[in-house]
Amino acid sequence: MDDLDGDVYVAPRYLAGSIPTGDVGLQPPLDAGWQLTDDELGNVYLQAPDQRVRIGYLPEDDDDALWKIAAYQHQFARPQWAAAFSSDAPTELVAAFTTALVHSYQQNDDSFLRGGIGQYSDPQPVLAPLADADWAVTNERWPQEMTAPDGLAGAWHQRGSLDPDAELTSNATRWGLWGGPPRVGWYAVFSTHTPTAFITTTATALVDPEPVLRWSGALSLMTRAHAQITPVRPPAPTPRDLARIYQRKPPALHTVSVPRWSTTSTPSARLPGPARPAALRTHREFMCPFTQSSSSPKRSPTGWMARWWGTAST
């Protein structure tokens, strides 16, 4: 149990929120040897060896996009595609995306730059994991939308022509995922040329029925109100644990045998004296209630990538 990173299981995972660190999402590129840098604020940046993929974990940035990811034809080009995950997006979704991205990059065939679909293509194959999980199509026009059975998560695909600069600097993107009630939920957005395989992988992680671990003290009010929360049960004791417990038991009281029909009584045992009175408490103990807001204040997502790679929105 000491190895578990949490004390409760949360389901569905789209209501679990994020974890306090970015380790899970950063691990795939770190394992691949990508270069890591940080700044004095605590933001972390990773880039591929040829600098054509950049990942930012930005807890101290000026908007609510905690994760910003982009790929480039070459290191001085504008982004070929971009993706972002807000501060409350489940970290398992980010890990699924970065795992797929690193794997594609390692193929050395530029597949991490290709694989987006056209503006009028059918999005259903990309979002097939959602349909397989009984999500319903709730809007077939523009944008096309799918919604979870409980109405607390969804996905969209925007058809038609989109402003390329707006896709890179705002949430006006081709693809999007969201979770949670209005105003306290999370989002993930993907621009037109994001390889659809990465989006499908993220959607698969989104509907994975396996509960995720979280620390109960870090759960948002949204999660507490809408998710199923199950405490982690301690493991069953092993034979060695039972033997250790038995060894700690106090010795049994000594008894004196008396023949069944004997009239001889046993020597009277000295009765214990009165217990020493316990010290009076000099103060009362109070437990401070744990209070937590449902989420950090939301800031405007507009311009969520403009400063990062120098692209101004139009």
pLDDT in tens, the chain (314 residues): 457 789 999 999 999 999 989 999 999 999 999 999 999 999 999 999 999 999 999 999 989 999 999 999 999 999 999 999 999 999 999 999 999 999 999 999 999 999 888 777 888 899 999 999 999 999 877 789 999 999 999 999 999 999 999 999 899 999 999 999 988 899 999 999 999 999 999 999 999 999 999 999 999 999 999 999 999 987 677 777 677 776 766 655 554 444 444 444 545 445 444 444 443 333 323 222 223 333 343 333 334 444 454 444 43
Which residues are paired to 86 by β-bridges? 65
- By the 8 A CB rule, do 13 and 90 touch? yes
Residue 233 DSSP SS3? coil
Instruction: Please tell me the number of Cα atoms within 13 Å of 19 on its side-chain side.
Output: 22
User: What is the residue whose two structure tokens read 């026009």?
Assistant: 141
pTM of the complete model beyond 0.85: no
For residue 222, what are the CA distances in angstroms to 15, 32, 147? 8, 35, 18
Query: Helix-strand-coil percent breakdown of the chain, rounded to 5?
Result: 25, 20, 55
User: What is the residue whose two structure tokens read 């695909």?
Assistant: 157
